Structure 1
Amino acid sequence: MKNIFRVIISTIALLLPALALQAQSTYQIRPGDTLIIEVLEDPGLNRSVPVLPDGSFSFPFAGPLRAGGRTVDQIEVAISGAISSNFAAAPNVFVTVQPKERLPKASGPARAPRTIDVFFMGEMTSPGRAELKPGTTLLQAIATGGGFTRFAATKRVQLRRTDPKTGQQSVTQINYKALVDGALATTDIELTDGDIILVPERRLFE
């Protein structure tokens, strides 16, 4: 009897990795998920990137790519094709996904969310998704977002917000450097779930 149990346990142990790979290959990416991307030919490109509320993500040499509704296999092909001009042959790209933890819907009256998801992109030292308290303002988020890189265009910080009803995106530009130098902030925008704080790269002589 013990031998039978050992055989069953060994079989399950062998099947689990295969089942996990199958689940990854059929899972359709959704906003809030995190993609772990590896390029065999250039480990310097390896990174984890968040899937933004509009279903897109950014990757070096590829720019923004669509992830929402796609599988891991489709994303691997898309990245490889987008960056292939930088390699002698099409690079080998491997993607795994960390799905965003989604809580089950509660019955009864709707409750205010405990946190909101805000995405830092561009020349930030800690780009990616951040969970912030509702009521957090743009300037407060920047102060807690890990700071800027030395290439950041702090005069042209952007807040990008997508209207959930129309799907249209609005862009608000903030001169953060002027605020740091003592300018008065006439308004400090309160962030909402899905907002994107984008810091462009500084231009020459800027």
Structure 2
Amino acid sequence: MNKEPQATASSTRPMNITRPALALGLMTLTACTQTWVEPKYQQPDHFAAWSEATPSVYRIMPGDDLSVVLPFNAELNFRGSVAPDGSLTMPFAGTIPAAGLTVAQLADSVNKALATGGMAKNGYASVSIIQSAAKIYVGGQVGRPGEIALHNGMSVMQAIMAAQGLLDTARTNEVVLIRRSPDGREMLRTIDIDALTHRGDSKQDVVLQAADTIFVPKSSIAEVDQWIDQYIDKVIPFNRGFDYTISNNPTWP
């Protein structure tokens, strides 16, 4: 007399099909998406058109660390920071308004102040910015998200390295850069770090401006893994080592 096939439990062969199958399905859906940024956030009414215009000449701001060099009067050389009220106090030149000026304009103000005080008829002052108070912001899948001091000529890649580099979970081909347009609206573009580091694509080596925001999203694999952890493992817990098999030749007790 034939017996019905019986379901037996065996722990000798681990069953790891569910997670890879879900991951493959989700990754297939993800692959159909051309960009990480949701379409509704790419519409013109949300972001201004991206502009690659060269940033305007740098204007000194409170907190900037400056160096003033007088080639013919080295004893008057000075290094100091712009005060919160935007002024620079320099020995023998007094307190000079600095915030909002270019380095050339401030150098001219220093020359006039020294001449007025009888210290130098023409000091030929040269002003340079040792450390800018300007900041950028890096978030997402980096080692140390947060505020970073902006250095002259700093690129997206350099900013990421200053934030202690990319995590393994980073989506390196679609890093988001957000910047204010001249009219104050937000502009958005993506940076392909892979194209920059693997193929030397110079178009991806964007030079940053003050207050730029960089966001590094998670890779699709990391997103799938997190999704499975949150919505499968914790909601539908089961023993992955427990394998249900159908035996065509069962042995009845």
**TM-score, reference length from structure 2:** 0.37
**Bigger relative contact order, structure 1 or 2, given CA contacts below 8 A and separation 6+?**
2
Larger radius of gyration, structure 1 or 2?
Answer: 2
